[in-house]
Structure 1
Amino acid sequence: MEEQKVLQDLKINGSMVVSGGSFNEVSINGKGTINGNVQCKEFKINGACDVNGKLKAETGVIRGNTNVEEDLYIGDFSVYGNATLQGNLYTSLFNVKGSCSVEKSINAEVIKPYGRLKVGDSCRADNFIARGVFDINDTLDSKIIDVTINGGKCSANVIKGEQVSVKLKGEEGFLKVLKSLFSFGDDRGTLKANEIIGNDIQLAATKAKLVKGDRITLNDGCDIELVEYTESLEIVGKARVIESKKV
């Protein structure tokens, strides 16, 4: 029987330039440059890392600064620091609590932007759950889209989902009373898109040219040029719709 190869760890605590390869764990607490493709079980960055090639890992956690020159294939991936991915990202669970820029596309099961996410092309997922800020240059396509706007500006060219929910983070206590008494402007953020398409759509603080779906509810802060619906349209509060039609 052929013996299984034992993978070594790659650990950098100072400053080092190394060649790519297959490793058990890649751990960088200093400054590391890896020239070539990397395959590992765990990818942990607490310092700074440049990967000049493709990266494949079972899990990854970024707490420092990381740049990956080509595609990233990874299982669970969390960014608490800053990450720049110059290729595509293929992942199962993607958590962003820091800042991440993906120059091409994201393909994932679950995407959770709780910090700041910028995507140069499209995002495809089963679940997209956002509590932070995102900017998607092309299409956000997910079965479930759950966005809570919390003071930032989110955007995507096209949003597609079976269930699409966009709401404002609630205000409690004294701040809520002040705004109701003195009519302070609402600075809790917005979502902007050219098209939003889905089956069940509930929106707040959203500006779009077209919203198209089966059952649509528009709440405060919506500014929609055209709504097309097949079953029902409900307009609540201070939502503005220029044109609506049942199709």
Structure 2
Amino acid sequence: MENKENLNDVKILGSGSISQGEYNNVKVAGSGQILGNIKANDIKVSGSGDFQGNIITKEIKCSGSMSCNGTVKSSYILKVNGSGIFKEDLTGKEIILNGGSSISGNVSFENMISRGSCEINGNCEGEEFNSFGYIRINELLAADKINIVPEGEAYIKEIGGEEITIRSEQKKKFMFLKFSFSSDGFINCDIIEGDKITLENTKCKIVRGENITIGRGCEIGKIEYTGELNITDEKSIVGEKVCMKN
């Protein structure tokens, strides 16, 4: 991307459109449509932004709604307060989704936080992942550190990481903007695999790891462990337990 001193700023105030191209700052205040591929140092949407092509940028911040038909790559931060619809792959160093988001492709990140509702059709991979609310990932969630507080009937096909925590906080309410929820949900998985695993309100066919703690509200088909297994709630249902210690 060119030096920002050589690039123009572009704004939509009210309703309008922007042609594809390379810009410094892009600002949409109202309702705007971007008609092709766009490169920019900074993109801000206050209202509604409809991006028809690919996006390459350092930073995206949206308060309202944004829809992206192409791939999105943000080298620094992508933050959506409201509604985000991404039809292809989403890549960002830091991804923050507050409200309701849908990603049809894969997600790559260093740090990701989802508060509200998030649906991902592909893989979701990075370093640290946090989710508070409804989450659905149809393929693999892989991160070094994973923390999930599910709302409703959440689903992740496979979870892999070093430290994995799924917990319930029934009496606590998360508040931001005009959106709130109380966490009393659970999560369905096919496989959970990690080094240190702590689970509550989890239904999973196979849990595999080193040190595993099973708390309340769990239904686990099979556990394979190489370190310690701790079942803290006798009401949780655990099927086969296999110690893999040498």
TM (norm. structure 1) is 0.89
Report what 2:224 is aligned to.
228
Seen in structure 2, the aligned counterparts of structure 1 residues 220 and 47 have a Cα distance that, compared at 3 Å, is same
**2:215 is equivalent to residue 219 of structure 1:** yes
Query: Is residue 240 of structure 2 the alignment partner of residue 240 of structure 1?
Result: no
Question: How far 1:4 moved relative to its partner?
Answer: 7.6
Going from structure 1 to structure 2, the CA distance change for 1:4 and 1:69 (only over 3 Å counts) comes to closer
CA distance in 2, matches of 1:50, 1:96: 17
Residue of structure 2 equivalent to 1:177: none
More strand by share: 2
1: CA distance between counterparts of 2:161 and 2:46? 36
Aligned AA for 1:110?
N
Match of 1:25, SS state, is strand
The gaps in structure 1 that reach 5 residues or longer are 173-186
Q: Which amino acid aligns with 1:155?
A: Y
1:202 is the counterpart of 2:193? no
Q: Is the contact between residue 170 and residue 184 of structure 2 (CA under 8 Å) also seen in structure 1?
A: no
Map of 1:60-209 to 2, 5 A cutoff? Answer: 60-74=60-74, 75-149=76-150, 151-169=151-169, 171=171, 188-209=184-205
The amino acid across from 2:43 in the alignment is F
Displacement of 1:32 after TM fit? 1.3
Report which of the two structures shows the higher radius of gyration computed on alpha carbons.
Answer: 1
Runs (4+) off by over 6 Å: none
- Contact 2:120/2:136 (CA < 8 Å) preserved in 1? yes
Shift in Å at residue 11 of structure 1? 0.7
Structure 2 spans left out of the alignment, 5+ residues: 173-182
* Identical-pair percentage: 27
Give the match's secondary structure for 2:37.
strand
Partners of 2:113 and 2:95 in 1: how far apart?
6
Work out the CA distance in 2 between the residues paired with 1:31 and 1:112. Answer: 26
Report deviation, 1:153. Answer: 2.8
Whole-Å Cα distance in 1 between the matches of residues 147 and 152 of structure 2?
15
